[in-house]
Structure 1
Amino acid sequence: MLSSKADRSTARPTGDRADDAEMFELAPVSLWLEDYSGLKRLFAQWRAEGVTSLRDHLLADTARVESCSSLIRVIKVNRKTLSLYEAADLPQLVDNLGRIFRNDMLKTHIEELVQLWDGETEFFSNTVNYTLSGKRLDIQLRGGVLPGHEDQWDRVLIAIEDVTERETARRQLATSETYARGLFEHSPVSLWVEDFSCVKHLLDDARRQGISDFRVFTDVHPEFVSRCMSEIRVIDVNRHTLDLFAAPDKQTLLMRLGDVFRDEMREHFREQLIDLWNGRTFQQREVVNYSLTGDEMHLHLQFSVLPGHEKDWSLVQVALTDITARKRAEAYLEYLGKHDVLTKLYNRTFYVDELNRLERKGPFPVSIAIIDLNGLKAANDQLGHAAGDALLRRAGEVLSKAVDKPSYAARIGGDEFALLMPGTDEREAAMVMEGIENMLEVNNQFYTGLPLSFAMGAATSQPGERLEAVVKRADLLMYQAKRAYYATAAE
């Protein structure tokens, strides 16, 4: 509604007309009584000139919209209108209509005019006005030609409702939603929004059936865990999730969830169900998932039922942080703590711990071999430490293949090694020693240069004998073999 002229008549109505006038004046919404007859005559002129689409006609030259507005005459407004627009009286209001109706209204005003052009006697719009002090007003406008004035449009009643508070709240909500969506989409961790309501129904049904020990129940009925897993509905995932799982799009990821959550994940999910059964709706744990390319990923999972959904679990958030690099680093540090880097065998720390464990728990008999690498000092002195390191690596290759778990091979000194063989008697230990001799022969055929040679001694525990004594016996036998080696070499 754009208006330009006012009827400043001061005649006071009487009787029923006085009641109507009072209701108009005291109405709680802004009311405008206007004369659109000049607009109707302009429409008739344009039709005669061949205009068929008013919208196209006005958009082709927006100055025509101003022509329409200039023909609308304000007859009167009520008190609410003056208060809403901060005007002292009707003349001040009319004289400042250009400040009230700005370009923000252009598009909606065209739509109002089109509704009248199309034969409607009522029109509606949501638009923006301004008070005389410049304050923005979001308004909802309803207009209609009064009964008996349909031919001339000389009486049109406009009702304006101030919806600024509602629209401001809506815009703030939209801004908040955009902000929240941005945080979700661009989060540096994988975020999943899921519906666990069916899972809750299954747990509630199990409880109603008298299940009390849920862990035992899932031990006996592992298919229940699988069913719960299949009832989870994924509502949304963010961009980082697609990158993390190497998925081209959400649809592909959701169609291949079976490739993502498999193997170890079933046991992790069982523990998650047990926590939910016990009322823990916020959980953290480490899990293993797989990307769509098959890569194993170690993830830190944080599960939380979102506020307001505690009764039905219909909205939960799962946050996954990739800790694969950390787990690999931890595994490597653990490896370094137990292994010799050069030979890849276990180190002396592991050897001592394992020896103490076998002392306490067995199984007996325990056979122990002490092995010394012949010629390492000479190789280092004559050919350099690179040649000596090469011999040590070859020794590691042979000894790592000599025994299988629960037996272990360890480097316990510069050129000294040990084999711990639980549950192995003398005959079996002798077979291991013979196997090492055979592997030495093959190794020396494969590698050119210095030959690989061991001095070895093996001993088997007797009932009640300390393993420390077994090590000493094996060590003595090794030194006997070493003296024999150097005596032969000197001949």
Structure 2
Amino acid sequence: MKTHVTSDIFNLAPIPMWIEDFSEVKRQFEEWRAQGVTDIRGFLRADLQRIADCASRIRVIDVNRKTLEVFEASDLAHLTDNLGQVFRGEMLESHINELSALFDERTEFESNTVNYSLSGRRMDIQLRGTVMPGFEATLERVLLTTEDVTEREDACRAEAKNRCYAEGIFEHSPVSLWVEDFSRIKQMLEELRICGIVDFRVFTDVHPEFVRQCMSEIRVIDVNQATLDLFCAEDRQTLFHRQNEIFRDEMEKHFKEQLIELWNGNLFHQREVVNYALDGSERYVLLQFSVLPGHEHDWSLVQVALTDITARKKAEAYLEYLGKHDVLTKLHNRAFYIDEMNRLERKPLRPVSAIMIDLNGLKETNDSLGHDAGDALLRRLGEVLNGAVHRPNHAARIGGDEFAVLMPGADRQATHAMADTILELLKINNQFYSSAPLSIAMGLATSEDGEKIEAVIKRADVMMYEHKRAQHLPGGSLMRKG
């Protein structure tokens, strides 16, 4: 009766079960021991044919119904006659585990292996074996289960593939990517709410040290290769240790705005910021901040993407420069001059002074020597004015050979001093170009009470033309000042 019940359990088991005779394998083990083999794993790996020989010595005594079903065999004979189709390929390598366990006289073992059904279907197998009681010395009866875990292993392989895909996208992205832990920052913000803080912007204005503390609590988990390239870092360790060189100066102001976004519940936001490479050069970047899905409750995983827009910002700055400067002389242009006049008119600051300058002989030089020679004169005068005029004053080229200097807050004495400086630098410049000396006419004017800026300019302009006419009189070089 007991044998009958045991037989029923064996046949009705929901996983494939095998009863096998390993006694011939045991005898082979004894021969190898007699030859001095102790490292069975190394011995088997040295010649995989030894594994195949052991496998051929195993005799299948019985299998249950589930085994016949899984391996698509009609009966035991059908299965045993075709074991070469079932146990093949990578099976030999994994077979080392069970052989090693039995060689070391362990009575239980398990491994992951691959089997094939008789129709050729590949199966991932979770193999477990137990030497049945009473057969430890001979290994005549070993019970094995071969559970089909293909679905589970397929899921694991798919997960590994997806992970590899995601890691590949992260590592090889052309955009700088940072994976960071903001969980401590979330705790700090929640603590402020508990303390009754409502207006977070005012709080950070009053307590800038809180912003700096939050910056120090960011934990960088990983960065990609584009990040190392962007910030000129040799490796991740170097980057992590020198973060204070990257995030400095204006970054604190930008990070404060990030904190305000987070305080207001905006877990996805972007802004343009300035960072610095480890060689000290500026990096203008578009920062895109995202709390990764599934981590909204603690911000323990966030992604920061930095797109390098340095070239774009430089182009924008250059276009802005061109909009306000004369390319040839590097002085401000007429558009800037008009805007500055209007700005000074609106401002209450007085007095305002102006110096109007005309480059003598430009047309004659262009006609006789060519425009390259004339351009050289203009560039030299630009060098003189750039050397003499500094903020808050501005020098501009307002026409072909016409220049102006606007001096907010400057009285007559300051204006005369500026004119003397310009003439002194002009004299020095001419010493280097004695064959083509610069000659200018100047007119100066300082605003009277209630006088409009345009009227000041006109007075200086009139005086400049008077100076120009005087230069053409015998011995005329007097500069009129008003």
Q: Verify same fold: TM over 0.5.
A: yes
* Match in the other structure for 2:428: 442
* Match in the other structure for 1:305: 291
Please give the residue correspondences for 1:282-431 in structure 2 after superposition, counting only pairs within 5 Å.
282-431=268-417
| Alpha-carbon distance in 1 for matches of 2:368, 2:48 | 99
Q: How far did residue 135 of structure 1 move?
A: 1.4
* Match in the other structure for 1:460: 446
Q: How far did residue 310 of structure 1 move?
A: 0.8
Deviations 1:89-114 (A, max 9, x none): 21111111111111211111122111
Q: Which amino acid aligns with 2:4?
A: A
| Alpha-carbon distance in 2 for matches of 1:152, 1:453 | 117
| Alpha-carbon distance in 2 for matches of 1:94, 1:261 | 70
Deviations 1:235-257 (A, max 9, x none): 11111111111111111111111
| Alpha-carbon distance in 1 for matches of 2:334, 2:35 | 105
* Match in the other structure for 2:480: none
Q: Which amino acid aligns with 1:175?
A: K
Q: How far did residue 489 of structure 1 move?
A: 7.3
| Alpha-carbon distance in 2 for matches of 1:314, 1:227 | 17
| Alpha-carbon distance in 2 for matches of 1:329, 1:34 | 79
Q: How far did residue 49 of structure 1 move?
A: 4.1
| Alpha-carbon distance in 2 for matches of 1:460, 1:49 | 114
Q: Residues 431 and 63 of structure 1: is their aligned pair in 2 closer, same or farther, counting only changes over 3 Å? A: closer
Q: Does residue 235 of structure 2 align to residue 249 of structure 1?
A: yes
Retained in 2: the 8 A contact 1:30–1:81? yes
Q: Mean alpha-carbon deviation: is it higher for 70-79 or for 356-365?
A: 356-365
| Alpha-carbon distance in 1 for matches of 2:298, 2:35 | 66
Q: Mean alpha-carbon deviation: is it higher for 322-331 or for 426-435?
A: 426-435
2:288 is paired with a residue of what secondary structure?
strand
Retained in 2: the 8 A contact 1:362–1:422? no
Counting matched residue pairs gives 477
Q: Residues 88 and 419 of structure 1: is their aligned pair in 2 closer, same or farther, counting only changes over 3 Å? A: same
Indicate which of 174, 197, 206 corresponds to 2:192. Answer: 206
* Match in the other structure for 1:162: 148
TM-score normalised by L of structure 1: 0.93
TM-score normalised by L of structure 2: 0.95
Retained in 1: the 8 A contact 2:470–2:476? no
Q: How far did residue 442 of structure 1 move?
A: 2.1
2:472 is paired with a residue of what secondary structure?
helix
Q: How far did residue 365 of structure 1 move?
A: 2.2
Q: Mean alpha-carbon deviation: is it higher for 176-185 or for 434-443?
A: 434-443
| Alpha-carbon distance in 2 for matches of 1:51, 1:209 | 73
| Alpha-carbon distance in 2 for matches of 1:441, 1:61 | 95
Indicate which of 178, 181, 186 corresponds to 2:167. Answer: 181
| Alpha-carbon distance in 2 for matches of 1:174, 1:61 | 31
* Match in the other structure for 2:257: 271
Q: How far did residue 490 of structure 1 move?
A: 9.5
Runs of 4+ in structure 1 displaced over 6 angstroms?
none
Retained in 2: the 8 A contact 1:362–1:423? no
Q: Does residue 22 of structure 2 align to residue 36 of structure 1?
A: yes
Q: Which amino acid aligns with 1:428?
A: A
Retained in 1: the 8 A contact 2:365–2:371? yes
Q: Which amino acid aligns with 1:310?
A: E
Please give the residue correspondences for 1:29-178 in structure 2 after superposition, counting only pairs within 5 Å.
29-178=15-164
Retained in 2: the 8 A contact 1:365–1:425? yes
Q: How far did residue 469 of structure 1 move?
A: 2.3
Over the aligned positions, Cα root-mean-square deviation in angstroms equals 1.7
2:118 is paired with a residue of what secondary structure?
coil
| Alpha-carbon distance in 1 for matches of 2:22, 2:275 | 70
Q: Which amino acid aligns with 1:420?
A: L
Aligned identity (percent) is 63
Indicate which of 237, 257, 281 corresponds to 2:267. Answer: 281
1:182 is paired with a residue of what secondary structure?
helix
Structure 1 unaligned regions, length at least 5: 1-14
Q: Residues 17 and 401 of structure 1: is their aligned pair in 2 closer, same or farther, counting only changes over 3 Å? A: same
| Alpha-carbon distance in 2 for matches of 1:239, 1:217 | 37
Q: Residues 435 and 57 of structure 1: is their aligned pair in 2 closer, same or farther, counting only changes over 3 Å? A: closer
Q: Residues 153 and 435 of structure 1: is their aligned pair in 2 closer, same or farther, counting only changes over 3 Å? A: closer
1:223 is paired with a residue of what secondary structure?
helix
Q: Does residue 453 of structure 2 align to residue 471 of structure 1?
A: no
Structure 2 unaligned regions, length at least 5: 478-482
2:90 is paired with a residue of what secondary structure?
helix
